[in-house]
Structure 1
Amino acid sequence: MSTHAMRAIRLHEHGGPGVLRYEEVEVPRPGPGEVLVRVHAAGINPPDWYLRDGMSNLPPETRPKFELPVIPGTDVSGVVEAVAEDVEAFSVGDEVFGLLRFPSFDGHAYAEYVAAPAADLALKPAGIDHVHAAGVPMAGLTAWQFLIELGHDHPSPFQAATHRPVPLDAGVRVLVNGAAGGVGHLALQLAKWKGAHVIAVASGAHEAFLRGLGADEFIDYTKNRPEELVRDVDLVLDTVGGPDSKRFLRTLKRGGSQFPVFFGDFDEEETAELGVTVTATQVRSSGVQLAELGRLLDAGTVRVAIDSTFALADARAAHERAARGHIQGKIVLTVA
């Protein structure tokens, strides 16, 4: 392999995990406002397999534009190798992590090197390794922008209204559905950091894990229906979404809010009758917010759980693991 070449995963067609190819490509050059990062680890997220299968599960009007072949991935942790002349925030040798160019699909993170916008990066917390740092960006920023601070004024493709987080404190009761997953387990910890009472919903295998993260109550959805057990919560964060998401509306008290991370199917008349609000947003890259998360990670206030790791060349196996579901934390690719 030449000194200007690297290994990366690319898609030449859409389909199952088998379409992920491990190939030799050119090392990218950082443009204005960018740095070149030698990738040590890359996080795997749902948009990666949406891109792989052609985004058939997204409404056509919300699908970003892209061209094949494409290197998937948005979450990276690595070391700065070079910086553009106009970049002052980072220097060669800095350890960084970030969510790259989201919500576009130009992250190109499944690779040995990536050209990354400096604005999308933050210094990697010194207290965690690259694998754990790579598991944070998309999931952590999703939890942050839904629960703590939106931090941008870009309109959501899913609704006309601007999403507004609910102030969290000791008097607030929060239900997190899908609490063991990437977004869920970080959202649970952020809500606890703010002092909220958190009810975690997941399968029974995750109970000890979630109670260890601070869940005040746990519901095993394989044995009980949360909407039959819970009433008068202030906020539902549903990381699963989909057509069944509306069942959680009846767990809310009047004036409460439901935040579906993946858009659901809601009836405006029903929400008005119940006196509740349904609102969502689309996560966006933010080095500034990642730096705030990094401080919590360094302090041990928030930790990221790793479900499993796979070598970059084994991205297909990583996507097959994701397809089996019941993920506890994050799946991460390691880059030699």
Structure 2
Amino acid sequence: MDTKVMNRMIWRTPLRLFAKILSAALMVFLIYGMYYSAVYIYHEQSGLNDKFLRSVITTVELHESGLMVNKRGFSSVEVTPFLTQKKTLKVYKDVGEWQVIVGELHAKKRLWGELTYSIEERGPYLNVEERDSFYLHSALLGGGKITDSSRPNGVMDQLEKLEDGNVAELFFSLRTLKSPEQVLELLSKYDVKATSMAVYAGELKEFYPRNYGSSNAGHTIPHLTLRPKVQFSDTHALSSWHTFFSLDAGITDHEQQLITDAEWMTNNIKYNGVDDDKHRLAYLKKNGVQVYGATVTGPVRELEKLKEESEFWEFRLGRIEVWNWS
């Protein structure tokens, strides 16, 4: 055989093999692109991504004691080829009239799996817990009232030393279980706004939650949070939300929304703690919504006045910002 012909055959063999490999790779890439596009379009058009976002917002805001999820300017939910939904969102607190970013939320849900999330906090200080807890006194479990004096914590001394041109976030617990309306009535004498309330739903009485701490007669428990009403459409798209509670506008709608949200969560989401929430929901339906703590924000001089209320105890100071109050 001619040497030139043999050389051409030798060169054509790897070229043909490379062409076949390249064609196969392009075909795989094309099929993958079509598959991923179909998956993404299906999740968007079917409302699965909206349902995932609703699950994240509802679960986080009802369990994370006053942390709120940013609801403006949603970008698309990430859907992996293995049908895992992922989303990263900012979480914030209301301090004065600003929404102060305090961390980043990372949520995901595998196909047929549980909703899981983690919060990467962005606190300004080392070794300081951002999510301040409320105290549930043992006396409240039997429908009683706390009669002992508040344990000293120096919060009011701190407020006293702050200049007038500041606003802050303040947490307090209650000496008796109260309706949200009763709490707002007590707060109506002051220029402050309530942003969330700690709900008592049968913990340590009807059932024992998974994680709780006790010290003397005080307990810190995981709880549902009464938040300003957030509403979704029948297709799970976010339709409206409120920033603060208002006594003039009424509180009943917010209470009913809490029960509606808890019912929706326990029926539609798999997540860690769903069994506890089923107990809570049953208690709320039977006994109504009562709270044992609240978070408020406002000018520091107004917050300082709250020490005059005998029903409030165990004050804890949260974020402080420069004046932004109208």
- TM bucket normalised to smaller: under 0.3
Return the structure number with greater relative CO, CA threshold 8 A, min gap 6: 2
TM-score (ref. length: structure 1)? 0.24
Greater share of helix residues, 1 or 2? Answer: 2
TM-score (ref. length: structure 2)? 0.24
